[in-house]
Chains A and B, each alone.
Chain A
Amino acid sequence: MSPVAATIDRLRWGPRRVARLGIVLGILAFFFALPPVEARAPVVPLLVGLLGVACGIWAVTRGVGRLGWGAVAVGVLGILLGVLATRSSGTNLHIVVSWGALVASTLVWATPLTFAAIGGMFSERSGVVNIALEGMMLSGAFFGVLGADKFNSWAMGLLVAAVAGGCFALVHAFFAIHLRADQIVGGTAINFLALGVTGYFFIQVYGDVGSPGNLPRIPNVNIPGLKNVTFLGDAFGQLNLMIWLSFVLLIVAYVVMFKTPIGLRIRAVGEHPRAAETVGISVYLIRYASVTLSGMLAALGGAYLAVGFVGSFNENMTAGRGFIALAALIFGNWRPFGAFAAALLFGASTALSFRLATYSDSAAVLFQALPYVLTLIAVAGVIGRSVPPASVGRPYSKQ
């Protein structure tokens, strides 16, 4: 290790930088084994990964605990996965890791999370915990399908979904804000309520027939020039409209939250509601509006899932994604682009879990647990450091 240490000392890099380098090396160890580099000799990921581990250990001895051990963990993981990848067959590797398709797939799975996470951001930044993103998403999925079917238009489907999400959110808002109920119990109740309501009306309306066929779907956006470009074409050439809208949403949400007076007021209400009240801001109004908005956005995420991607509704089809969105929000430190990055990570894990089925049918089932494991690790590793709005979760009483 001392030549490494000596080199590092000579470069006069701080230990935090070295730890970060270690994390990068660990990731590279894995990536070098994948296409397009596709190094087939196991020694490549081994060496690169070991270098990363070394950096991590050096950082730990210099006092940077968390980041250093993170580098060690990532390095070890990179070696393991890299070696595994070198041992798998070339064709399988190409099926699983076809980057263009993987990116597209990641975006597909990340988009519902993005919508819900941004919605959660508005709610939480104003001080109301929204555990009910899951229920609002599910309601958006069902009512989106219902609306699209009955009005024969995907746009109407989206509208109905947003209204439904807004309604559930209003219930949550009423109990949390006016009645000052416990926001987590209330949110859980909304989740069950949404589950019951969507299931009930799904059977009531579509009982024997099942989910409607020929559902008007949200269209994909075909970018003409891009189709033949290898990577970009696969990745971006044919993405759904909602995915592009999610990018727009990110930018709008960022500007609104951090660059407009209304965003300043929302944040003030979330940090110190009494202070906001004393300068004349209506805490109740801001919170109601933020929670309702969060319901509408989460519902749009669910609507995309049902009307845009899958094309049908199944009971409980969101399968915990609302909670993953919440975790993405926390991981992203309650900022839009941070939450988006986390959503991409979780989306990638879902996308991967489907593709890894090429290796083993039975194990494919196990891989479905991957996003949840990842969320668990993320929540465990990051929570200590991210700082929520100071008044989040605490009911506010006007005098």
Chain B
Amino acid sequence: MAAASDTPVLELRGITKRFPGVLANDRVDFDLRRREVHALLGENGAGKSTLMNILYGLYRPDEGELLLDGKHADISSPHGAIAAGIGMVHQHFMLIPVMTVAENIVLASEPRRNGVLLDTAAAERRVRELADRFSFHIDPHARVHDITVGQQQRVEILKALYRGADILILDEPTAVLTPQEAVELFEILRKLVADGLSVIFISHKLNEVLDIADRITVLRRGRRVDTIPREGATEAGLARMMVGRDVLLRVDKQAATPGELLLHVEELHVRDERGLEAVRGVSFDVHAGEIVAIAGVDGNGQTQLIDAITGLQKPESGRVLVAGAELTGESPHSFLEHGVGHIPEDRHRRGLILDFSLAENLVLHDYAKEPFASRGFLNPGRVLESARRLLKEFDVRGGTPQTRASALSGGNQQKVIVAREVARDPRVLIAAQPTRGLDVGAIEFVHRRLVAERNEGRAVLLVSLELEEVLSLADRILVIYEGRLVGEYDPSVTEEELGIAMTGGRREAAV
């Protein structure tokens, strides 16, 4: 790693930012040296993205100041940030899918012909030159929705470089990458730093941070805990700084005793909304009393697979059998009737109707049946009674049965969804990214519940990209990559091995 020089190229002093109800940044100090990779580490909600959005001009700080090269600077918009040489690669890409790579990169700084017309040829030429300089392999003429996620990220980096950035901010860049792509990204970063750039790397993944960073700043609940050099930093030490206590990573569970076959998926092929094949011939079984986990990075067909086995989408071909009944291509209603429970990965879009009360949400599947309704008329008394019972049993806090779902915290909302699915006594329970965005307490609850359901004799299918969760809960682990199942493991497998499997092949690991 090239030596970082002394004067900080960028310094944030005493940054404070308040939003209604939350103090996102509390007198945070941060500095970046030339030619260093400085990692910003913290849990969800620690304030990392807020801090960087302030630096990039998307937010204004309530207090504090910013210095560039030792001089006071005022950045009030992304325009100003770009002018100051700061480029940002966001977690959700700021790319326009229907436009080409070149168009995306030159947007707002377009080369012109005759002063008025857009010079597409010049744009593509310049993009190609820039890409070649850093050995990116990018086709300027390709449309963004046709290239892979890893390539899209490279386009984002090129966007910043095209505008002359010498400070690059990357917000959770590996969240959407396979381990192989992450390695390639790190190589690119090292090359950029050697060329003179300084990099801020936001993450919540300890192992990556230890791999790439020169210095690490840990944020917790809006405050800076400490800034330490990489030498001497350990995973356990960082974790303690991030969370403030020792973190229990694994859930207690006994060995599984699988019973009858409850979910049988055979040679399933499913297309995504653009008509491309997302699931390519997936087959697996889940028995009663076991937890099967499908591990994989987002975007490898998990969403389409789940849609096909819950009735939300018709598969192209293949079969889905639930407890022996053929349900291929049936409606969601049919799947529900046959005892399939589904904890969806997006609780706001799918899992809950935020404007309905908790009671109304709890009867979302069964509102038309006894005892909640008879002959087309609802029985509000029984609906409330059942809701009261469930809310108590699942320890849902934040409201009564009449409270609107939108008023609850994420963790409690997820509890409501889990309560609803579990109370229907399903035979097969499908949990998709069930702990996304939840705090530790809620995560613990969900994990305990899934194990309890498995012990009751249900077949549980867990789809997750959190390897720790998978290793902790699963009795069997399947890895999905580019729409295919590429391996089956038992829970004694290492994270590293799983990570390699998620790239679709075996590599000779160098020690």
Contacts and interface: CB of A to CB of B under 8 A. Distances in A.
Contacts of A255: 117
B99 A267 contact: yes
A272 B163 CA distance: 20
A264 B117 contact: no
A390 interface: yes
Contact of A279 (B99, B108, B116): B108
Of A259, A261, A268, chain B has the most CB atoms within 10 Å of the CB of A261
Interface in A225-268: 255, 259-261, 263-265, 267-268
A224 to B, nearest CB: 34
Contacts of B109: 279
Contacts of A279: 78, 82, 94, 107-109, 159, 163
A242 B301 CA distance: 54
Contact of B96 (A261, A268, A277): A268
A263 B99 CA distance: 12
A281 B110 CA distance: 12
A271 B143 CA distance: 14
Nearest to A270: B96
B95 A275 contact: yes
A255 B117 CA distance: 8
A276 interface: yes
Nearest to A275: B94
A7 interface: no
Contact of A399 (B59, B103, B110, B159): B59
A91 interface: no
A280 interface: yes
B58 interface: yes
Interface in B143-175: 159, 163
A16 interface: no
Interface in B69-94: 77-79, 82, 88, 90, 93-94
Contacts of A204: none
A278 interface: yes
B112 A261 contact: yes
A371 to B, nearest CB: 32
Report which residue of A263, A271, A277, A280 has the largest number of chain B beta carbons within 10 angstroms of its beta carbon: A280
A281 B107 contact: yes
B98 interface: yes
A261 B118 contact: yes
A272 B82 contact: no
A101 to B, nearest CB: 39
A274 interface: yes
A272 B118 contact: no
Contacts of A260: 116-118
B380 interface: no
Interface in B33-90: 53, 56, 58-59, 77-79, 82, 88, 90
Given A259-B117, A264-B107, A264-B118, A271 B78 contact: no
Interface string A81-116: 000000000000000000000000000000000000
Interface string B88-129: 101001111111000100011110100011100000000000
Q: Tell me the interface secondary structure of chain B in the complex.
A: loop
For chain A, the bracket of interface size reads 20 to 34
Interface in A278-294: 278-281
B107 A390 contact: no
B145 to A, nearest CB: 11
B110 A264 contact: yes
A267 B107 CA distance: 11
A274 B94 contact: yes
Contacts of A278: 56, 58, 78, 88, 90, 94
Given A267-B99, A399-B59, A280 B108 contact: yes
B96 A271 contact: yes
Interface in B399-417: none
A268 B99 contact: yes
Contacts of B97: 271-272, 390
A275 B96 contact: yes
Contacts of B107: 264-265, 268, 276, 279, 281
B99 A271 contact: yes
A272 B95 contact: yes
Contacts of A390: 97-98
B98 A261 contact: no
Nearest to B77: A280
A280 B98 contact: no
Contacts of A272: 94-97
A280 B107 CA distance: 9
B99 to A, nearest CB: 7
B58 A259 contact: no
A277 B81 CA distance: 12
Nearest to A263: B118
Interface string A387-399: 0001000000001
Given A264-B110, A279-B108, A280-B108, A271 B118 contact: no
Interface of A: 255, 259-261, 263-265, 267-268, 271-272, 274-281, 390, 399
21 contacts: A255-B117, A259-B117, A260-B118, A263-B118, A264-B118, A268-B99, A271-B96, A272-B95, A272-B96, A274-B94, A275-B93, A275-B94, A276-B107, A277-B78, A278-B78, A279-B78, A279-B108, A280-B82, A390-B98, A399-B53, A399-B58
The 10 closest A-B pairs by CB, nearest first: A280-B79, A275-B94, A261-B110, A279-B108, A271-B96, A278-B94, A272-B96, A278-B78, A281-B108, A280-B108
Given A267-B96, A280-B77, 15 more contacts: A259-B118, A261-B110, A261-B118, A264-B107, A264-B118, A271-B96, A274-B94, A275-B95, A277-B78, A278-B94, A279-B107, A279-B109, A281-B108, A390-B97, A390-B98
Interface of B: 53, 56, 58-59, 77-79, 82, 88, 90, 93-99, 103, 107-110, 112, 116-118, 159, 163
